């Protein structure tokens, strides 16, 4: 596993909108290699466990046995073919000589075994160091990607912040433009601009307030008729005053006066209301000077309770 990771080509990183994650690909092989290093036993050499020593031993024993037979045969021939202790001693000497050769080669085999042990240790340490470098490089690439990701996120945030500020400024300018257009239209009794901003119900209330505050302009623009004008002001509209009948002014017909009060209700209803309040007026349904005088005294020139209730901003906008 460790070797495969070492040989693997380095992964290429590229920025993406997803936050990079640290993989730590080399933690497991590093741990495995470390355990191999730390768990290695101390070097010791046992010839009988060394395959090379066993091979040499087998070869020398065979060669010694052959040499012993040859030497014993030669010695026997010299004695006339009869076995003797001399022949046996000669053969044993040849056999022992080969075993001595086996003992002489043990130091060399020891050194070979130690070299193999050292080489294996060196290999594991080199592997561990290479894995550490690969892990450090992987972590460096991760931190670089993380830095780039955070930089991109910050840049995107700044761009969105600027875009939001621009949109808000544009919306504010557009709202101000609509307010100005609506105010200009309202000077002529057209509250469609305010309807687009605040809605029809609010615009209607604003229009009523404007009419009540500017009855002359409202009449001239045709927004109210003569009867409504009289109800709002207590005066006849320009050019609408009736001619006085001949004779005493007290003989004027009540038909010359409107049938509505300034707040738009029927004259008879409001006259009864004023009379109940203690004003000495006739309840005849004709809104004349006495009714208007009682109205002015009762409501200060206008029934404020009947006027549209608007917020401060809206009231300001229609005071033109």
Residue range 120-148: mean pLDDT, rounded = 92
- Provide the whole-model pTM: 0.43
Q: Picking from 3-17, 113-127, 245-259, which range would have the lowest pLDDT averaged per residue?
A: 3-17
User: d(Cα 253, Cα 292) in Å, to the nearest integer?
Assistant: 16
Query: Is residue 312 included in any domain, yes or no?
Result: yes
Query: Quick one: 156 and 287 in the same domain?
Result: no
Two structure tokens written together for 13: 């990183």
- Distance set, CA 206 to CA 197, 218, 300 (Å): 12, 13, 22
Query: Is residue 206 included in any domain, yes or no?
Result: yes
Two structure tokens written together for 216: 């002359």
Query: Quick one: 149 and 39 in the same domain?
Result: yes
Query: Is residue 175 included in any domain, yes or no?
Result: no
- Distance set, CA 61 to CA 118, 177, 246 (Å): 31, 115, 169
Q: At what angle do helices 85-186 and 51-78 cross, to 10 degrees?
A: 170
CB atoms within 10 A of CB 73: 14
pLDDT digits (tens, 9 = 90+) for 25-63: 889 998 999 999 889 999 888 888 888 888 877 877 777
- Band of pLDDT at residue 23, cut at 50, 70 and 90: confident
Q: Residue 313 pLDDT more than 50?
A: no
Q: Residue 101 pLDDT more than 90?
A: no
Query: Is residue 29 included in any domain, yes or no?
Result: yes
Owner of token pair 């050769």: 101
Query: Is residue 297 included in any domain, yes or no?
Result: yes
pLDDT at residue 107 in the model: 86
Task: Identify the domain boundary among 149, 164, 179.
Answer: 164
pLDDT digits (tens, 9 = 90+) for 142-201: 999 999 988 888 888 899 899 999 999 999 999 999 999 999 998 888 989 999 999 999
Query: Quick one: 132 and 221 in the same domain?
Result: no
Find out whether 305 and 298 touch, Cβ atoms under 8 Å: no
Q: Residue 122 pLDDT more than 90?
A: yes
Query: Quick one: 82 and 129 in the same domain?
Result: yes
Query: Is residue 38 included in any domain, yes or no?
Result: yes
Query: Is residue 224 included in any domain, yes or no?
Result: yes
- Band of pLDDT at residue 309, cut at 50, 70 and 90: very low
Task: Identify the domain boundary among 113, 142, 164.
Answer: 164
Task: Identify the domain boundary among 164, 189, 222.
Answer: 164
Query: Quick one: 88 and 217 in the same domain?
Result: no
Query: Is residue 193 included in any domain, yes or no?
Result: no
Query: Quick one: 132 and 83 in the same domain?
Result: yes
Coil, strand or helix: which one is 84?
coil
Percent of the chain exceeding pLDDT 90 equals 25
Find out whether 26 and 134 touch, Cβ atoms under 8 Å: yes
pLDDT at residue 46 in the model: 86
Q: Residue 69 pLDDT more than 90?
A: no
pLDDT at residue 272 in the model: 87
Give residue 149's domain range: 2-8+22-164
pLDDT at residue 196 in the model: 92
219 Cα distance to chain centroid: 59
pLDDT at residue 153 in the model: 87
Two structure tokens written together for 57: 């031993």
Q: Across the strands, what pairs with 260?
A: 266
Query: Quick one: 28 and 155 in the same domain?
Result: yes
Query: Quick one: 31 and 129 in the same domain?
Result: yes
Q: Residue 141 pLDDT more than 60?
A: yes
User: d(Cα 261, Cα 292) in Å, to the nearest integer?
Assistant: 8
Query: Quick one: 26 and 122 in the same domain?
Result: yes
Higher-confidence residue of 80 and 40: namely 40
Tally of domains in the chain: 2
Residue range 101-106: mean pLDDT, rounded = 77
pLDDT at residue 31 in the model: 93
**Environment class of residue 2 by beta-carbon count within 10 Å: exposed (0-12), middle (13-18) or buried (19+)?**
buried
Query: Quick one: 160 and 210 in the same domain?
Result: no
User: d(Cα 216, Cα 77) in Å, to the nearest integer?
Assistant: 164
Query: Quick one: 155 and 205 in the same domain?
Result: no
Residue range 247-254: mean pLDDT, rounded = 44
- Band of pLDDT at residue 75, cut at 50, 70 and 90: low
Query: Quick one: 213 and 306 in the same domain?
Result: yes
pLDDT at residue 85 in the model: 66
User: d(Cα 130, Cα 30) in Å, to the nearest integer?
Assistant: 9
Higher-confidence residue of 51 and 86: namely 51
Find out whether 27 and 138 touch, Cβ atoms under 8 Å: no
Q: Residue 250 pLDDT more than 80?
A: no
- Band of pLDDT at residue 252, cut at 50, 70 and 90: very low
């Amino acid at each position: 596993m460790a070797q495969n990771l070492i040989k693997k080509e380095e992964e290429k990183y590229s920025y993406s909108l997803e936050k990079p994650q640290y993989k730590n690909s080399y933690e497991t092989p590093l741990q495995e290699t470390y355990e191999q290093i730390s768990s290695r036993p101390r070097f010791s050499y046992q010839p009988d466990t060394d395959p090379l020593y066993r091979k040499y031993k087998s070869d020398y024993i065979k060669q010694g046995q052959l040499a012993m037979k040859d030497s014993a045969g030669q010695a026997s021939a010299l004695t006339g073919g009869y076995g003797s202790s001399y022949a046996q001693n000669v053969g044993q000497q040849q056999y022992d000589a080969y075993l001595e050769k086996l003992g002489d080669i043990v130091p060399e085999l020891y050194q070979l075994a130690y070299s193999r042990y050292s080489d294996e240790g060196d290999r594991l340490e080199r592997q561990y160091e290479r894995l550490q470098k690969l892990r450090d490089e992987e972590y460096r690439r991760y931190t670089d990607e993380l830095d780039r990701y955070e930089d991109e996120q910050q840049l995107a945030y700044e761009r969105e912040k600027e875009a939001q500020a621009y949109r808000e400024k544009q919306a504010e300018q557009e709202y101000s433009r609509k307010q100005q257009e609506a105010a200009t239209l309202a000077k002529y009794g057209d509250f469609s601009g305010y309807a687009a901003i605040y809605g029809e119900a609010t615009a209607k209330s604003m229009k009523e307030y404007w009419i009540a505050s500017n009855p002359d302009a409202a009449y001239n623009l045709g927004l109210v008729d003569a009867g409504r004008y009289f109800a709002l002001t207590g005066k006849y509209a320009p050019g609408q005053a009736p001619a006085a009948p001949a004779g005493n002014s007290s003989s004027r017909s009540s038909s010359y006066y409107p049938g509505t009060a300034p707040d738009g209700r029927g004259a008879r209803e409001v006259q009864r209301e004023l009379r109940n309040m203690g004003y000495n007026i006739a309840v005849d349904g004709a809104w004349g000077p006495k009714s208007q005088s009682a109205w002015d005294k009762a409501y200060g020139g206008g029934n404020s309770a009947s006027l549209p209730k608007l917020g401060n901003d809206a009231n300001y906008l229609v005071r033109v």
